[in-house]
Structure 1
């Protein structure tokens, strides 16, 4: 194969963005050959915009056409796993938009299908391409920060007014979206939280407030506390109603702390590891010598184009994936655990009890304000949704 022919499932905001990236010629070895969408107005728009791209009503027809080698799944959250599973069964390489899905059980099934297919599987975690977070991961994995002791991420610059939530009946509903700020705005942050430090929590206690300062049924204000196997702790705070918001990620280790804020990274580096200083020091109120280091600008982030380029290279030449699709379950598991902790008002241990989470989610779907005109969903899973967003 000398070129990857892409088909896009769903041409809403993200799908059309990926289409424009592919059509721009920015991705060597890739071309857009087909798109599909269940909404006629979207299909008409696509035909007018890209006269040389085949347009289909559904993904099955697009895949069966023989015009595509890989698909980008950019439909609503609940459909990501089912669309991916169908594509793997037909021999497609699959790149899914975030989140990997709404609940871990369906994502685990998708991961199994990917493994059985032998095809490339990626997720659009474009923030893994951001040089700041790549540098943070490098400094931690190399041991420069020492063993992690604490993480704090306050990510409240996801401001969304009521008009945003009113722009679609599916928005901020349990049946339409499966959650609020955690499932829509924060998947990248939750992924980076575990990816940069290289470990998952062992248990989580969280508090979610639904519809705080907004007329919505899902969470838009969250405070979560995490514990790790090595004794480290973490706090994750997010909101869509703070103005102005904050984006500050702080990681403390035995050799100092690193802070990412306002697009800059600062490393407060201890001259010696804190445990060593503490063991030899005999002076009350003394502290280890610390150097403030401004990490040089790491350059621009290639964002979404970088992920598509990396995925294309993986198909054509076996390049290692920056964001393997199988890893989408990690950030989603943290999201599910935060939800579940708030729902049951208690601690949640990881590995996650996926059946309990799904049962609690289905309770909220049953009373959700969103109603799609379709046959009732099987009681074992949330309603299947179609369309674009």
Structure 2
């Protein structure tokens, strides 16, 4: 395939951003061929911005059946991500999906199965996997430089959102409109990075979520979660949209030291000998392993969204490996679903997740949501 004809589903904030760089020729081997949106005004705007040659459609099916696209970039509402992707898979059309993969893992699992059966290229827009800081963290963990993981701790509270932000759309911060709050809207990237860098999901989760604590919303705006991993390690994840100034600090401790990512820097507090080895050989009353503070040099070059889109197009054209394979979208979503389920049931949640129980409780909240999609 010489050029991949891309169609964008949903020409809102993120869809517009993607359309601009694709139409601007910033993705080698690709062109913006079509956009789809339920808003006639947005479609007219797209024609004005990107040229009269652009194909516009009011329905996903019409776009997929038109023969004008080889691949689609999904930017519509969270609940519609899996169903939109599965329609494309059925027609042999490649898919790049914005985060999150969906709202509940039961639906996303069906999407993954459909993708595997189709044989097309399926990727997630996990653009933060391209950030050099997190790539280096993953490299240090995967290489064994940090030793076996013992603890993870992520404080990610710099997602400040005012009431006016939530008031900007009736669907925002509702169970029926978005399917969740800070965990599903702002934090999918961090939840993905959390599991991607350490290379494992927890074995169980205990979470405390506050729903509408600081804002007039029905979903969560503050979360503190504690997790336990299969190897005995523990972790904490803290987030909110109502804290100013916020913090973004990730700390990962292993047998050979700890790594801290904060303020755009990666610091490796490296032990000269591992903690288990020191403990076995040290005979004094007080002491600890010799530790070196290493400011690890990390590139600042990250093309973020463009890098993921280029990688997806390259995979379609030449078969290169995907940075963020679509089927991995279920992993971070498993974490948020488990946190919700723990808060709703006031107890521990074991993984694998009870997907049917989560779906049942989510549907109860959707049924009483202040937003209903048919209005």
TM-score, L = length of structure 2 = 0.99
**Equivalence map 1:9-48=2 (5 Å):** 9-48=9-48
Secondary structure of the structure 2 residue equivalent to 1:143 = coil
Displacement, 1:246? Answer: 0.1
How far off its partner does 1:295 sit?
Answer: 0.7
Contact kept in structure 1, 2:136 and 2:298, CA below 8 Å: no
**Deviation of 1:172 (Å):** 0.3
Structure 2 match to 1:65: 66
| 2: CA distance, partners of 1:21 / 1:344 | 44
**Post-superposition offset of 1:47:** 1.4
| 1:284 Cα offset (Å) | 1.6
1:71 aligned counterpart, secondary structure: strand
Q: Quote the residue 1:162 is aligned against.
A: 163
Where do 5+ consecutive residues of structure 1 fail to align?
Answer: 375-389
Shift in Å, 1:180: 0.1
- What's the offset of the Cα at 1:297? 2.9
Residue equivalent to 2:99: 98
1:372 positional shift: 2.5
Deviation at 1:173, TM superposition (A): 0.3
TM-score, structure 1 length as denominator?
0.95
Q: Distance in 1 between matches of 2:285 and 2:142?
A: 33
Q: How many residue pairs are counted as aligned between the two chains?
A: 374
Rounded Cα–Cα distance in structure 2 between residues aligned with 1:208 and 1:354: 19
Residue deviations 1:156-185 (CA, integer Å, cap 9, x gap): 000000000000000000000000000000
What does residue range 90-129 of structure 1 map to in structure 2 within 5 Å?
A: 90-129=91-130
Match of 1:266 in 2: 267
| Partners of 2:270 and 2:294 within 8 A in 1 | yes
- The match for 1:255 is 256
CA distance in 1 between partners of 2:149 and 2:302 (Å): 26
| Whole-angstrom CA distance in 2 between matches of 1:221 and 1:283 | 45
Q: Give the deviation of 1:49 after TM superposition.
A: 1.1
SS at match of 2:155: strand
Distance between the aligned counterparts of 1:3 and 1:171, measured in 2? Answer: 36
Deviation of residue 230 (structure 1)? Answer: 0.4
Structure-to-structure mapping, 1:288-299, within 5 angstroms: 288-299=289-300
Aligned to 2:197: 196
Structure 1: distance between partners of 2:64 and 2:298: 43
SS of residue paired to 2:338 = helix
How far 1:373 moved relative to its partner?
Answer: 2.3
Distance in 2 (alpha carbons) for counterparts of 1:63 and 1:365: 29
Q: 1:63 Cα shift?
A: 1.4
Question: How far, CA to CA, are the matches of 2:94 and 2:61 in structure 1?
Answer: 14
Match of 1:382 in 2: none
Distance in 2 separating the partners of 1:31 and 1:182: 33
Which consecutive unaligned segments of at least 5 residues does structure 2 have?
none
